[in-house]
Amino acid sequence: MNDFDYLDEKSVYLDAACQSLRPRPVIEALNRYYLEHNSCGERVKYPWGEKTDAMVEAARQKTLKLLKLKSKDYFVSFTLNTTYGINLLLNEISSDYVQKVFTSDIEHNSPFLATMAMAQRLGVPRVVLARNADGSLPLDENFAKAVVVANCAANFDGRQLINLKEVVKKVHADGGLIIIDAAQAMAHYYEMLEKTEADAICFSAHKMYAPSLGVMVVRRDLVPKLTQNIIGGGMVDDVFQDHYLLSAEANKDHVHTIFEAGLMAWGEICAYSVAVDWLASRTKADKKRLESCTQELDDFLRSNSKIRMVGAQANPTMSFYVEGLDSHLLGAALGKQGIMARTGYFCAHYYLDKVCKYPPLVRFSLSYATRESDIERVKEVMRKI
């Protein structure tokens, strides 16, 4: 069954790195929440609430299972998006643990700006490490009392943090903390994060076939190193005139509430749970189709002498520019033909504009929703242009 059968033949969606198309079962789960059990999670005692609670708990557990993590070591909290999760953590890590902040040159503005803000707020130095061409992070720094924030996959060419395990080990051995931006990793490379020992992983459910939602996977032993700045309903066990008892302090099973102030996007969390199952059940044939569509489009683009690709290797997320042709005009022309692609610097301004000095780019980002006919259509339209 085609879970993207709502997409007509003429619409070619190549913006999955921003937000993936949602498969039908995920859309149906969201609708079911509104139509059948519209209720607040983790608070109400009536049957609709019990159903929501079961799905929300399943969403947390399935996330850990997908990443092969144990609930005695990690917990899952929901937020708005990757940006919010990273900012929340960087704002709450106690200054006692931070003498330096590290990030890398190929980051999305999300960690790039948030690490800047943290360094400015705490008055500590910030270092921008140049990632190697293969995506690995050089390990010759000392990460003692440092917070390191790096992506697992870049959002313009999909290059990956191939030495992720060594990076986490080194940062911990030096006495630092590491947060992984997994926004671009979850849809197609979540295996990279299996059994990770990173202190936290932040990602966006909307880039992994789920509704708009942020997910944080956090080590339980990071919690004592945080000072809670954002506080409110849903996270307290008891309240007195001038003080309160947090649910997380009262019950270790409620530790996820430390990042969940106020009413959450319960319907989206329920549908995310279905998306995790959907993602985990992609078959070899699904993966092969994505791989061959990627290769086909990559070969086509590289075969044109006027096209300059950003990445060295084929990847479902690919960026390029055409010599002598404005990328925004090209994007608009593609759009008129039903091909939805992004243009500009994709919130990676520092690397693409300041380091590499590329002109604005075009990005095609493929997904499990991409059809062979989409690639043929892109080739046909690009040839004409």
Ligand X SMILES: Cc1ncc(COP(=O)(O)O)c(C=O)c1O
Q: State the residues that interact with ligand X by CB under 6 A.
A: 18, 81-83, 108, 110, 151, 155, 181, 183-184, 204
Q: Which amino acid is at 165?
A: K
Closest distance of CB 198 from ligand X, Å: 15
Closest distance of CB 83 from ligand X, Å: 3
Question: CB-wise, 213 or 290, nearer to ligand X?
Answer: 213
Closest distance of CB 56 from ligand X, Å: 20
Closest distance of CB 360 from ligand X, Å: 16
Question: CB-wise, 39 or 81, nearer to ligand X?
Answer: 81
Question: CB-wise, 159 or 254, nearer to ligand X?
Answer: 159
Question: CB-wise, 39 or 115, nearer to ligand X?
Answer: 115
Question: CB-wise, 79 or 370, nearer to ligand X?
Answer: 79
Closest distance of CB 257 from ligand X, Å: 21
Task: Please choose, from the candidates 189, 155, 151, the residue with its C-alpha nearest in 3D space to the C-alpha of residue 291.
Answer: 189
Question: CB-wise, 114 or 309, nearer to ligand X?
Answer: 114
Question: CB-wise, 124 or 347, nearer to ligand X?
Answer: 347
Task: Please choose, from the candidates 338, 333, 307, the residue with its C-alpha nearest in 3D space to the C-alpha of residue 15.
Answer: 338
Closest distance of CB 161 from ligand X, Å: 11
Task: Please choose, from the candidates 57, 38, 146, the residue with its C-alpha nearest in 3D space to the C-alpha of residue 102.
Answer: 146
State the angle between helix axes of 284-302 and 372-384 in degrees (0 to 180), rounded to the nearest 10: 10
SS (H, E, C) the chain: CCCCCCCCCCCEECECCCCCCCCHHHHHHHHHHHHHCCCCCCCCCCHHHHHHHHHHHHHHHHHHHHCCCCCCCEEEEEECCHHHHHHHHHHHECHHHCCEEEEECCCCHHHHHHHHHHHHHHCCCEEEECCCCCCCCCCCCCCCCEEEEEECECCCCCCECCCHHHHHHHHHHHCCEEEEECCCCCCCCHHHHCCCCCCEEEEEHHHCCCCCCEEEEEEHHHHHHECCCCCCCCCEEEECCCCEEEHHHHCHHHHHHHHCCCCCCHHHHHHHHHHHHHHHCCCHHHHHHHHHHHHHHHHHHHCCCCEEECCCCCCCEEEEEECCECHHHHHHHHHHCCEECEEECCCCHHHHHHHCCCCCEEEEECCCCCCHHHHHHHHHHHHHC
Closest distance of CB 150 from ligand X, Å: 10
Question: CB-wise, 49 or 331, nearer to ligand X?
Answer: 331
Question: CB-wise, 63 or 155, nearer to ligand X?
Answer: 155
Closest distance of CB 312 from ligand X, Å: 18
Distance between CA 205 and CA 321 in Å, rounded?
Answer: 29
Closest distance of CB 17 from ligand X, Å: 6
